[in-house]
Amino acid sequence: MSTHTPSPVAEELAPEPVPDDVVNPGAAQIVNLGQRRADRVAAEQGLVVVGDDDGESVEAGTVLVGTVVDPPDPPGDALAFLDVRRTPVFPVWLSDSQTRRDAMRRAVAAVGYHAGVHAVRIPVYAALVAWYAPQGAARLTGRVLGWTSAEVGNWGLRQDAATRNDAKTWLELDRHRQRQASWRWWVTGAGVLAAVAAVLVVLSGVTPGWARWLLAAVGLVALARYGRPVDKPILARTVVRAKYRKLTAELTRKGIMATGLVKKPEDIVFPAGLGEIRREGPGYLAVADLPDGVIAVDVVDKREQLAGGLRLPLDQVWPETMPREHPGRLALWVADKPVSAMRQPAWPHLSGGATDYFKEFVYGFDPRMRKVMYRMDERNSLFAGFPGSGKSLSGRVVCAAMSLDPIVQFAIFDLAGRGDYDMFEPLCAPGLFGSGADEDTKRAAYRMLLWLVKQCDERGPIIKGWAQQGLNTENKLNRAIAMRDPRVRPIAALIDEIQELINDPELGKAASAAATSVIKRGRALGIHLILETQRIDKESLPKGVTSNIALRTCLAVPSHVEVDLALGTGAFRQGARPNQFEIGVDAGWGVRVGMGPMTTVRAAYLDRRTVEKICAKALALRGGTREQVDLPPARDILADLAVIWVPGERGQHWKTLAPRLAEKFPDAYAALTAEALSALVRALEIESRNVKAKGVTQRGIYHAQIIDALAARDRSDSDDDAEQVEEDR
Ligand SMILES: Nc1ncnc2c1ncn2[C@@H]1O[C@H](COP(=O)(O)OP(=O)(O)OP(=O)(O)O)[C@@H](O)[C@H]1O
């Protein structure tokens, strides 16, 4: 122990004395190397290693932050499986008369076809039988002799023994052959005798003539069959079995993997209860859950790669999203043959029976050949698609169905003038049918829209009156009211190539405003407007018109832009792919929204003659007469402006003039907007000007402009009259 007294500074710097009883400097320390290493690593990571003696540290227990994420499963309904009904009690062909009739028709057609094919070829068959039957007889004789003499097989072995100079074996084999042949000759002899006896019986008078011919024919055919080469059948092949790929889990995974969206095949799961791959219509259906991050729309988008992976034509592969299921669930339907080559079932309404404006009817069939329904009440329709995509024929199916409800009135304008709707003319009141690409037809179509606006005005109070009398619980047209009151019969109004009217410089704006008004107000009043267009852009399909149409069908279009314009923004994202339809091949195919889930559907194919027959029947249902309607008179906008002009006003805004016109002439101008009025006047080559009225400057017209234009028109009319008089002289 040291004895010197330390200086105060040295005392401060000196390490604190360690009590002897804590550390024994002489004792060797045992170092836990593993602990040291762990401490060093922890120190490098900035962690503090605490010893057992650190009073500040506490042991980390289970820390719960927030609520429990996975709550315990709710008790499941153990008996839920009792409510699942997948297979109908009776097969569909037994319970559904339409399917039964269809199956019968197909069976009769098939029998007729095969019988016809073979009947025509009977001379060829006879020649082939005559050629092969002797060969068959020679072959049969050779075989019987070969067996009887026991040479078959034995001869080859004997030859072998002879080649080897093995006389003993040769003799042994020959003895064996003789032993076999000795009893076989008896069998063959007996057989020949029996055959000769049979032939004598057949040739004798005991056997009727027809049986003789039949047995001779059967015998010859049997010999010919025996004598023909294996690869040369006598009967023509009439059944070529459809080649289809049976969809299996492995194949489904292979197809989906080909899209490049999924990394591991085992990530594609077939959900229990839904996932068994099964027959569905003329094809197979697989329902698969895609891995996290992949949704069914992604697969729909990669339909081509999917079809490539399945080694099938595109037309046979129909991936779909599943409405009301999670977005990662894919329904993959694979047809037995390309859908464009499949025959649609017959349109059920052809086989008689009336339709009902207020109920569903069959519009067409989906790729799985299931019926797709359509409904008119409280809706309007839009058919958009490129030329040749099948719009007119699709709209025609709707009109044909409605013609079978005798209380439905028609108003039809075909602005292409191709005559697709000519057969409906007798069902339309005078003035409510037009077909042509000329100005007069457009004017008549516009007038029809004005008539519909007027109908909207008049029908509201009538329907309300009937509803108050207990014919409906709401102020909407129903069948009871329509049957009771002829003034409110349902109207199916159609304009084909509506873009011709909407883009018209004179009538466009006014027609668009009138159509919007009818679409918005007419639904509940029994007015269903069907618009068809081949130009799909913002100008031809103004938002006011389309956004209020519930039932929209988009047929073949070039890109997703048209899909969203026709079906509504977001339709493409949700899996609508009418841009994949090929014009011509896929004519009539479309994607429909607005009634149940989004559906891919092809309208029933009704050719011109069929529709003509339906229309003839429809006219008979309506008593063979055309109704008369009270159309609004054709108006002269300049004269009408002069009538409503307030004396003393130098000029006036369009905004003020439009409601004045609507008030004075509601039949013609009820739906007129300031913009539409301006367009109507400008189309007469009269300028729209800045007009100051009541201290505000806005676009409008001066009174002097109207007076001048009327005077100029009068002058030109009188000049025309003078010229006419001159010509007549
Ligand atoms: N549902 C259908 N099933 C089978 N073929 C159809 C169907 N719809 C249309 N087609 C075929 O497509 C052709 C064109 O149809 P449609 O005249 O209706 O087309 P569109 O789109 O109206 O053409 P455009 O704009 O030129 O008038 C028809 O002549 C017909 O051969």
Residue 242 has pLDDT above 90, yes or no: no
Residue type, position 135, single letter = Q
**What residue ranges in 290-393 does DSSP mark as E strands?**
317-321, 329-335, 361-365, 371-374, 381-384
Residue 67 has pLDDT above 60, yes or no: no
ipTM over 0.90: yes
Mean pLDDT of 285-310: 91
pLDDT at 86: 61
pLDDT at 75: 63
pLDDT at 591: 93
| Cα–Cα distance, 133 to 669 (Å, whole number) | 90
Tens-digit pLDDT profile for residues 541-572: 888 788 889 999 999 998 899 999 999 888 88
Classified as helix, coil or strand, 592 is: strand
Cα 480 to averaged position of ligand 1 atoms, centre (Å) = 36
pLDDT at 459: 92
pLDDT at 729: 58
Tens-digit pLDDT profile for residues 400-428: 999 999 999 999 999 999 999 999 999 99
* Most informative mutation of 340, 362, 393 for ligand 1 (most atoms within 8 A of CB): 393
Can you spell out the DSSP letters for 75-122? PP-TTGGGG---S-SS-HHHH-HHHHHHHHHHHHHHHHHHHHHHHHTH
Tens-digit pLDDT profile for residues 647-706: 889 999 999 999 999 888 877 787 788 888 888 888 788 889 999 888 899 999 999 998
- Whole-model pTM: value is 0.64
Q: Is the dihedral of CA 721, 723, 725, 728 positive or negative?
A: negative
391 labelled binding-site residue: yes
Pairing mode of beta strands 409-414, 491-496: parallel
Burial call 495-525: b when 16+ CB within 10 Å, e when fewer: bbbbbbbbebebbbbbbbbbbbbbbebbbbb
| Cα–Cα distance, 441 to 501 (Å, whole number) | 10
- Is 345 touching ligand 1 by the criterion CB < 6 Å? no
pLDDT at 119: 92
Tens-digit pLDDT profile for residues 424-453: 999 999 999 999 989 889 989 998 998 998
Tens-digit pLDDT profile for residues 119-129: 999 999 999 99
> Of 311, 282, 315, which Cα lies nearest the Cα of 585?
315
Residue 12 has pLDDT above 70, yes or no: no
Cα 501 to averaged position of ligand 1 atoms, centre (Å) = 22
Instruction: Please tell me the least confidently modeled range out of 108-112, 515-519, 569-573, 716-720.
Output: 716-720
Mean pLDDT of 136-164: 90
pLDDT at 7: 40
> Of 302, 297, 300, 307, which Cα lies nearest the Cα of 328?
297
Residue 11 has pLDDT above 70, yes or no: no
Mean pLDDT, all residues of the chain = 84
Cα 420 to averaged position of ligand 1 atoms, centre (Å) = 10
- Is 605 touching ligand 1 by the criterion CB < 6 Å? yes
pLDDT at 207: 80
Give the helix ranges, DSSP H, for 121-262.
122-148, 154-163, 167-203, 209-227, 249-258
- Domains of the chain and CATH, by start: 108-227 (no CATH), 249-341 (3.30.980), 350-621 (3.40.50.300), 637-728 (1.10.10)
- Is 155 touching ligand 1 by the criterion CB < 6 Å? no
Tens-digit pLDDT profile for residues 35-64: 666 656 555 554 544 444 445 555 555 544
